[in-house]
Structure 1
Amino acid sequence: MNRKFTDLPSREKTAAMPHVRFFTETIEAGGISPLSFFEAGAFIHDSHRFYWENASKTMTLVGIGHALTITDEPGTDRFDTIESKWKHYCDALIKEDKDMDPVLFGGFSFEEKRSSTPSEWENFPDALFAVPTFQLKIENGKTLVAINLISEETETVLQFEALRKQRDQLIHMAQVQESVSTEKPLLLSMKELSKGHYLKAVQRITEKIQMGEAEKVVIARKLALQFEQPIPPVAALQSVANEQRDSYNFGLENGSQFFFGATPERLIEIKDGQAFSACVAGSIKRGSSADEDQQLGNELLGDKKNREEHQYVVDMITGVFDLLCASYTAASRPKLMKVRDIQHLHTPVQGRLGAESSIFQFVKALHPTPALGGFPTPIARELIRQEENLDRGYYAAPVGWTDVSGNGEFAVAIRSALLEQKNAWLYAGGGIVADSDPTQEYEETWVKFRPMLRALGGSLNG
């Protein structure tokens, strides 16, 4: 039964923002591929979509259109700004028990913009979040589709009826259209950007660490790819989902650009009052056989440099949990996290949420972890600004979602790429410490480029 959106019950009168009303309506829908739903969205709300699938493949979110967009404001703390604005709209929500919670999805840039030099990230602000007009969620065997409407109008019946028609059209298209094409694009060229600068930067950073200026600094570099034809975002998502099955698969569309990836690294998850994070740092390639793979894994577990890098991350994340949780636990020793191209040292951390804590407070406190920034964090970030000569954009930064109940999950956007029509930019980095060798660090970045490069039709053999 459809509800009327005039003469609402008393719940509306208690909203914290009486001039703004936030409506949501959920129906159950079966037999929908989330990628097909995402693709159907291009015909209704082109350039305003997102995609999220958690690493365990137990929950998928797709957003089509923008019922609300929240961005940073100059001169304010961007994490606090996003959280504050989101809370205001949550207080204005009108929903029934059967309706699923609306989600806010988006991400932050690694660093706030400080340079006027143009880069490929010009279309992405320092923070970009949106409530989708149409929200698909697949979890626990159920497929739900919601409409979200945020309006200052007193009469919303016609608006909502139009949205219901669009929702039904989206569902129909997703159910009957042909499967997403998995054919990879034809790669015309691949260009290493500033290889020489990267090698010199690693050398300079190593020398500064040896002089005691820092303990670890992460330096990244990028590749520029050009293709014969424009790459549809849905094809990129399909390809990377097939290639990286044990990772978070995500995509955030903003105009003609699409940021997507398959990251193994969770930053923070909040679920029913519990907080979960993962210390992921230290890596080595996969073996060509099971025996070699085990040998490489044991080598990683016993490697002094990688264990030190990993411990920086453990110390930092457990420090945040100590601050924001009522209690927490962490594994005493790291284990191996194995994904298709690489093995990582991995230590899970879990805690009981503090009374006043929130997911955005965790994101603010955790970003960047020493795995993507370095240690001590303020010094490492300054050295990155001085030496890296790279606009990371949303690479290595928090991307994820939260809902009106305070639950949510953010991942660290590594193994990622920025796509725009026939062009793509890929990013990879590594932790530099006192005994780092520039050539070895350079070779390690190729291992980290491999997942996205393969997904986009390239290879490391030309």
Structure 2
Amino acid sequence: MTLPLVDDAPGTPSLVARTTAIPDPGDLAALVPADVPARDVVSWLRDGDGLIGWGRAASVRTTGEDRFEDAEAWWRQVSAQAVCRTDVDVPGSGPIAFGSFAFSPHSDAGAALVIPAVVVGRRDGVSWVTHISPAGRLSPAPRIVPTPAASAPGELAYSDGALTGPQWTTAIARTVELIQAGDVDKVVMARDVQVEAAAPIGPQWLVQRLSEQYANTWTFSVDGLIGATPEMLVRREKGLVMSRILAGTIQRTGNDERDLALAGSLARSSKDLEEHEYAVRSVADALRPHCTSMNVPESPFVLHLPNVMHLATDVAGVLDDRASSLKLAAALHPSAAVCGTPTAAAAAVIEELEHMDRGRYAGPVGWMDTAGDGEWGIALRCGALDPHDTRHITIFAGCGVVAGSEPDAELAESEAKLLPMRDALTSD
């Protein structure tokens, strides 16, 4: 079921988009005006480049099993009617939509596809701004200048989410029993932590902090879901597709020599290699029907992040049909990296033992243009702002569980994966 929300009026909006080249604006994360509502800030940033946007020219919410198809159908209609003027020809220029989709079709969180009023981008040394507005209601172009530093949310209070730490390790132990009994091969179990701040938690603050502290991940913000994901679910660009799969994790110590030894042990870990193999296989199987050729490396590499290291594999292919980046993301979701395998059996275990609604955590998040090109990550290392009280945010972390998993070790891994959001929320 699709619920269009376009300035509180139903239907497909007619939009006008104007893209112009601009001088390098500096730090993209610092451009969002301070008075923009939390749910109207969008971002997709990595290593200083990417996209930042604000305002809302149009949006749509979809729910249920057809949330991907309904969102894409709406975007196709909007794209067909849009009037576009541009003097920049790089991915991300022109009218684009940012999206975030619930992990489960049964979640009330559904999906949100947002077309911002302003997008500022930078890629390969080219910078631009796109203004998007309803036809006949053109607004003056805003000045693109850095804004005052975002305010910290102040003192933070943490509390258990759906399960306490001991309860969650009990759930992990039960999951291991089911795997060892042959009911399922792998299950990705997640947990949530509730955070209450003394002052409103602004997405401007979180985006700036995450993009600085975790520059080699994709810092995203869509409709109140904010995080820094290391996992690219799928990128589609001019007929080529790529997916980065992460599965198998070890926490860093901060000592370079020790971390190098840990990276070697991770690369040799049978437990982590098994978990990683399931994830790679699920992605390759989902992409293969859409590609004429594919490259699936035989062995993973170790991806070093500030807080953890992951086994990682980049799968690439040549597209052989007209599937959009969003359609490819839908085909890949949920991969074994966020659900498990077999998918249906793993999802049933998650529903039984997690005792929470993941919402849009672990679902696809990203952007696409009118040609269907775009980038979609998996919403990991993230938090969901309470739409009614932005002093409250729910943060999430998950771990892949296989036959050799140890519950206490999985709890420690989940704590390591919560660090990006904990650090971003904390004032220096």
Q: Tell me the TM-score normalized by structure 2.
A: 0.89
Secondary structure of the corresponding residue to residue 422 of structure 1: strand
1:329 corresponding residue in structure 2: 295
Please say if residues 38 and 202 of structure 2, whose CA atoms lie closer than 8 Å, have aligned partners that are also in contact: no
Aligned to 2:159: 191
Residues in 1 aligned to 2:70 and 2:241: alpha-carbon distance in whole angstroms: 22
Show the counterpart of 1:92.
Answer: 81
Question: What percent of counterpart residues are identical?
Answer: 27
Closer/same/farther in 2, CA of residues 289 and 73 from structure 1, 3 Å limit: closer
Whether 1:80 aligns to 2:49 is: no
The CA deviation string for residues 372-412 of structure 1, in whole angstroms up to 9 with x for no partner, is 10111111011111111011111111100000122100111
Task: Look up the equivalent residue of 1:113 and give its one-letter code.
Answer: H
Identify the residue that residue 14 of structure 2 maps to in structure 1.
Answer: 21
Q: The residue matched to 2:100 in structure 1 has which SS? A: strand
Q: Which runs of 5+ in 1 are unaligned?
A: 1-17, 115-121
Residues 68-217 of structure 1: matches in 2 within 5 Å? 68-73=58-63, 77-96=66-85, 98=87, 100-113=93-106, 125-151=109-135, 156=136, 159-160=137-138, 163-164=139-140, 167-168=141-142, 170-171=143-144, 174-175=145-146, 177-178=147-148, 180-181=149-150, 184-193=152-161, 194-195=163-164, 196-217=166-187
One-letter code aligned to 1:35: A
Closer/same/farther in 2, CA of residues 192 and 101 from structure 1, 3 Å limit: same
The aligned runs of 1:230-245 (5 Å cut-off) are 230-245=200-215
Residue 261 of structure 2 is aligned to residue 269 of structure 1: no
Of 401, 408, 427, the residue aligned with 1:439 is 408
Write the distance in 2 (CA, Å) between the matches of 1:411 and 1:19. 27
Residue 61 in structure 1 maps to residue 61 in structure 2: no
Quick one: distance in 2 between partners of 1:26 and 1:92? 17
Q: CA separation of 1:308/1:223 partners in 2, compared to 1, >3 Å: closer, same or farther?
A: same
User: Deviations for 1:315-364, whole angstroms, at most 9, x for unmatched residues?
Assistant: 11111221111111121211000000000001111111122322122111
Q: Which moved more, 1:80-89 or 1:133-142?
A: 133-142
Deviations 1:141-187 (A, max 9, x none): 23211222344xxxx2xx22xx12xx23x42xx24x43x24x75433
Matched, 1:343 2:309: yes
Offset at 1:427? Answer: 0.8
Q: Deviations over 1:98-129 (max 9, x none)?
A: 26421010110111235xxxxxxx6xx41100
List aligned pairs for 1:374-413, cutoff 5 A.
374-413=340-379
**Structure 2 residue matching 1:446: 3-state secondary structure:** helix
Correspondent of 1:373 among 329, 339, 363: 339
C-alpha RMSD over aligned residues? 2.2
Structure 2 Cα separation of the partners of residues 272 and 452 of structure 1 = 34
**Structure 1 letter corresponding to 2:196:** Q
Higher mean C-alpha displacement, 213-222 vs 227-236: 227-236
Per-residue CA shift, 1:225-276, capped at 9, x if unaligned? 22222222211211122221211111123xxxx2211111110001111001
- In 1, the alpha carbon distance for the partners of 2:176 and 2:317 equals 35
Spell out structure 1 runs of 4+ moving beyond 4 A.
none
Q: Distance in 2 between matches of 1:70 and 1:198?
A: 35
Residue 130 of structure 1 deviates from its aligned partner by 1.3
**1:293 match:** 259
Please state whether the residue corresponding to 2:112 is helix, strand or coil.
strand
Check whether the contact 2:41–2:203 (CA below 8 A) recurs between aligned residues.
no
Hey, what's the Cα distance between the residues in 1 that align with 2:395 and 2:272? 24
* Structure 2 gap segments, 5+ residues each: 1-10
Look at both structures and tell me which one has the larger radius of gyration over its CA atoms: 1
